[in-house]
Amino acid sequence: MSRVDAREEEASVPRERRIHPAWFVAATALVALIGAAGFRAAPGVLMLPLEEEFGWSLTEMSLAVTLNLVLFGLTAPFAAALMQRFGLRTVTTTALLLIAAGSALTVFVTSPWMLLLTWGLLIGLGTGSMALVFAATVTETWFAKRRGLVSGVLTAGSATGQLIFLPVIAVAAEDYGWRIASIIIAGGALLVVPLVLALLRDRPSDLGVGRYGEPAPTVDVEEKQPDGAQPDAAPRDRAPRGGGAAALALGALRDAAKVRSFWALVAGFAICGATTNGLVGTHFIPSAHDHGMPQTTAAGLLAIVGIFDIAGTVLSGWLTDRVNPRILLAVYYAGRGVSLLFLPSLLSATVQPSIVVFIVVYGLDWVATVPPTIALCREVFGDRGPLVFGWVFAAHQVGAGVASVLAGIVRDQTGQYTVAWFAAAGLCAVAAVISGAIARRPHSRIVR
């Protein structure tokens, strides 16, 4: 072979990419999750200013938060199916626009029912489409290896958003009013849209590559086969051809509901939502304020939760690639329950070392449950894991919504949150037992 021929042959072979495009997609998804996380920090900060201006009760405002949390969850499985059919970029862009619209329109509210439309409906649908199922879908679509780590990092994106937005929202609400704080949330969501449109890709085949950890595809199944033959199977990253998004999501629920492990995951994750977004995320600031702590100080403590949440979730993702996820879930829930038992005695008008210890422990544990839960959905339900996780996550948000409104009722009726904290601790013990007993084999009716 001549040197010219050798050079031509070398030029005809695609050069290996130094950085797999999956990492750029994951980075874009992380930024999108951060941008969508603004409202996750908002209710705890904005409820007190709204109460002072309009005289609305915490129960009335908690109803809007409850609608948001429930829609946040119930939208997730359908969003996962929509991402499979229409692509990550379209669904993510639409979700960010809904969040921005809902937050911006909040400045015009004059009665509690209007909060149901803005905080509840618009932002609930938007954040639901950008929920943790988004992280699961990106991980499953783009990664064959390092999936635990990637899902942990993406999950931490919500915590990062809380860390970024919470202090800003708290200061803006106190110095400039809650309306300016709402505009800041809308702006944060809108700023991410151009990045998503420019960099987020729907599936590896769009770039002619395989998932990270897999070889690039060598056969294009869209090409006509010899003698009219049909390809044996669609590539893993191709959207399903049959049925609409609703049919895909409901079909996954129908099949998963026949499996006992699904209900164990649902119960555990519902308790997870109740003890994070529903209780601490929504009511920690009002509870600390009841003990004389300034609102901005309490918001700062929740921001610290966000810092340690990042570390805890990434570490949990790394551990999920190496440790039985059932063991991880049991340990996480048990530790959370012990922390909640001590919380009522730790709250005071000033920041004491004991409450800082609680914040650190709770931060490390906040959504550390997500990577092992995603891993169990993938283990038990195979390629339909992201869709099933959407329904498991829906239970997470239903639990959060129920806890949010019940905690508001407890506060209005008793003047304090103590009963709510103790009840949540008991539920964590139940979640630890249930999670540790999840079956260890995939179910043949679901994995296909």
Per-residue pLDDT of the chain (448 residues), as tens digits, is: 555 454 444 444 444 457 888 899 989 988 888 877 777 667 767 888 888 888 888 778 878 877 887 787 788 788 877 887 888 889 999 999 998 998 899 899 888 888 889 888 888 888 888 777 788 888 888 888 888 888 888 877 766 776 677 778 888 888 888 899 889 888 888 988 998 998 888 888 888 888 888 776 654 444 444 444 443 333 344 444 445 667 888 888 899 999 999 999 999 999 999 998 889 888 898 899 888 998 888 888 887 887 888 889 889 989 998 899 999 999 999 999 999 999 998 988 888 999 999 999 998 988 899 899 989 998 888 878 888 988 898 888 789 888 988 998 898 888 889 999 999 999 999 999 999 988 776 655 554 4
At residue 432, the pLDDT reads: 95
Sign, Cα dihedral of 178, 182, 185, 190: negative
**Distance, CA of 359 to chain centre:** 20
Distance CA 206, CA 280 (A): 41
At residue 217, the pLDDT reads: 64
At residue 329, the pLDDT reads: 96
Residue pair 277/302 in contact (Cβ under 8 Å)? The answer is no
At residue 77, the pLDDT reads: 81
Distance CA 431, CA 442 (A): 21
At residue 56, the pLDDT reads: 83
User: CA dist 103 to 5, 196, 402, 444, Å?
Assistant: 62, 20, 23, 44
143 has which bridge partners? 212
At residue 236, the pLDDT reads: 43
At residue 41, the pLDDT reads: 65
At residue 233, the pLDDT reads: 36
> What is the DSSP-derived secondary structure letter of residue 106?
G
Residue pair 266/395 in contact (Cβ under 8 Å)? The answer is yes
- Joined together, the tokens standing for residue 21 give 């495009």
How many CA atoms are closer than 13 Å to the CA of 174, on its beta-carbon side? 13
Distance CA 328, CA 371 (A): 10
At residue 39, the pLDDT reads: 72
Sign, Cα dihedral of 252, 256, 257, 262: negative
Contacts of 431 (CB under 8 A, 6+ apart): 267, 268, 271, 272, 329, 333
Residue 326: strand, helix, or coil:
helix
Q: Please name the residue ranges forming H helices in 321-384.
A: 325-346, 353-365, 370-381
Tell me the longest C-alpha to C-alpha distance in the chain.
Answer: 89
Distance CA 16, CA 96 (A): 34
pTM of the model: 0.70
Axis-axis angle for helices 295-320, 282-290 (nearest 10): 140
212 has which bridge partners? 143
Sign, Cα dihedral of 94, 100, 106, 112: positive
- Joined together, the tokens standing for residue 102 give 């809902």
Give the CA angle between residues 428, 442, 219 to the nearest 5°.
125
At residue 222, the pLDDT reads: 43
